[in-house]
Amino acid sequence: MINPALLSWARESAGLRIDEAAKKVQVKPGRIELWESGDAQPTIKQLRKLGATYKRPIAVFYLDEVPRDFTPLRDFRRLPGEVAGVQSPELRYEIRRALSRRDTALELMGPESEVPRLRLRCSLDDDADSVATRVRRRLGINLEDQLGWTPGNESLNKWRDAVENAGALVLQMQNVDRAESRGFSVAKPILPLIVLNIADRSPAARTFTLLHELGHILLRSGGLCDLDDHSTRPPEELRAEVFCNRLAGAILMPRDAILDLPMVAEATRDTTWDDVAIRRAANKFGASREAFLRRLLVLDKTNVRFYQRKREQYRREFIDWLDKEKAKKKKRPGGPRPSRVAVATAGRQFTRLVLGSYRQDKITVSDVSDLLEVKLKHIPEIQDAVFGRRAGSTE
C-alpha cells in the first residue's frame, strides 16, 4: 500500500500547492486530496506521473516513514519583493540532485582519507586581495597561463578544473531562472559543493559565480546566492555577499595585474571608460564587463555613479539578447545533445568518477545511465568527451 503521508511530503518538499500538482498530473485537485488523506489510491500510471512531477522515485511512496530531507540552505538572495522568498520546484530539485551527486561521489571515491581536502579558510575581517593570493597559489593558477586562455568556455573550464582538483565538486543546474539563483554552495569539510546556473549563458559570468561560491566555502557559509550586494538585507548576510564578490574579483583579476595595465594606471575615480576598452580588458582575464568594472570600483579607478550606469546598460543588453535567443529557439527545434548536457551539468570530475567506477566493475552500465541521467546509447559519446577525443564543453 502507498503511504499517503509520503505523497504529501513529496509534494510539499517539491514546493507545489495541491492545485499546481493536480495540473501537472492532469487530475482534479480533489483527487490529490483524496490520495493524500488515504481515502483513495493512485494507479501505477498516476504514481509514475506523481514521481516525475515531484522528482522522486516511485519507490519512495512505499516507505514506512517520511525520510529526512536535506537541511535548507542559507538564503543570501534578495529579500521578498525582489526575489520570491520560496524556492521554485526546479530549484528545490536541483539542490536535491546536487546533494545526491555529492553523496554518490563520496561513495565512489572510497575512504574519506583518500578524498582531497580544500583546507583554505578565511573570515570576513580578512583582506580580500591577500586571501586571493593564497587561493590562486592553492589552485595552482599563475597569471601567465591565465592570460593565455581563450575567453569563454576554456577559461571557465580551467577554473572549474582547478577548483575541483583542490577538493571541491562543481556541478551546474538547469531549468532554474538566473534571477532566482546564480549559484549555490554547500560548505562541507570534505568535498564541498558548488553549483552554477547554466541559465547564466555567459561563461565569464559563471566563472565569477564559481569564485564567489568558493568564497562562501572558505568562510564556511554556503547557501543560495544571486550575487547582488546592493539590496537591503540582514547586515551580516550583505557583508558576506560583498566580501565574496570582492574575493571573486581579486582571484580573477589580481590587484597588481590590473594596476599594471597602462589605461588603469593613468585612471582616477573620475575616469569614464568606453565599452571597447572595458571589453578588451575584461576578456584579457576571462571576466565579464561588469566584473571588470566592479574591480575598478574597488581599486578606486572609477566611481559608483558610472559603475551603476554601466551595470544597468549591461542588464538591458542581456535582456535584449535573451529575447532574441528565445525567438531563435522557437524557430529551430531541438536543443543540445543529451551527452553534452550530461557532461555540462555533472561536470567532468563526477563524470570521470562514474565512468572510472564502471571500468573497474564497481557499478553497472545501468548505474552509469541513472547517475548521468542519460540513455545507454549516449554513454560512448560521453566517454569520448571526458577522456579525450572530444572536449566536453561546460556551456
Residue 123 or 86, more confident = 123
DSSP 253: S
pLDDT of residue 3: 87
70-79 confidence digits (pLDDT tens):
566 787 776 4
Q: Which of 137, 168, 131, 87 is nearest to 349 (CA)?
A: 168
Q: For residue 160, is pLDDT > 90?
A: yes
The residues, any chain, with a CB within 8 Å of residue 199's CB and separated by 6 or more, are 174, 175, 176, 177, 178
Q: For residue 80, is pLDDT > 60?
A: no
pLDDT of residue 234: 64
Between 167-171, 313-317, 318-322, the lowest mean confidence (pLDDT) is in 318-322
pLDDT of residue 12: 87
CA distance 98 to 260: 40
Can you tell me the mean pLDDT for 139-157?
Answer: 95
Q: Is 158 left (phi over 0), alpha (psi -120 to 50) or beta?
A: alpha
Domains of the chain: 4-69 (1.10.260.40), 70-252 (no CATH), 254-333 (no CATH), 346-387 (no CATH)
Under the banding of pLDDT at 50, 70 and 90, the label for residue 178 is confident
Residue 217 or 390, more confident = 217
Q: For residue 101, is pLDDT > 50?
A: yes
Residue 223: phi and psi, rounded to 5, are: 170, -170
CA distance 226 to 168: 20
DSSP 71: P
pLDDT of residue 231: 59
Distance of CA 9 to the CA centre of its chain: 26
220-274 confidence digits (pLDDT tens):
988 888 877 765 566 666 888 999 999 999 999 999 999 999 989 989 999 888 8
Can you tell me the mean pLDDT for 2-9?
Answer: 89
pLDDT of residue 315: 86
Residue 144 or 69, more confident = 144
What's the mean per-residue pLDDT of the chain? 88
Alpha helices in the chain (DSSP H): 4-13, 18-25, 29-37, 44-54, 89-109, 128-139, 143-147, 153-165, 203-219, 235-252, 255-259, 262-265, 275-285, 289-298, 304-331, 338-359, 365-372, 379-387
Residue 197: phi and psi, rounded to 5, are: -110, 115
Between 66-70, 204-208, 314-318, 364-368, the lowest mean confidence (pLDDT) is in 66-70
Read off the amino acid at residue 267.
A
Q: For residue 326, is pLDDT > 80?
A: no
DSSP 83: S
Q: For residue 346, is pLDDT > 90?
A: yes
pLDDT of residue 394: 44
Q: In Å, how far are 36, 146, 187, 280, 306 from 283, measured between CA atoms?
A: 54, 11, 30, 5, 20
pLDDT of residue 84: 45
Can you tell me the mean pLDDT for 23-37?
Answer: 92
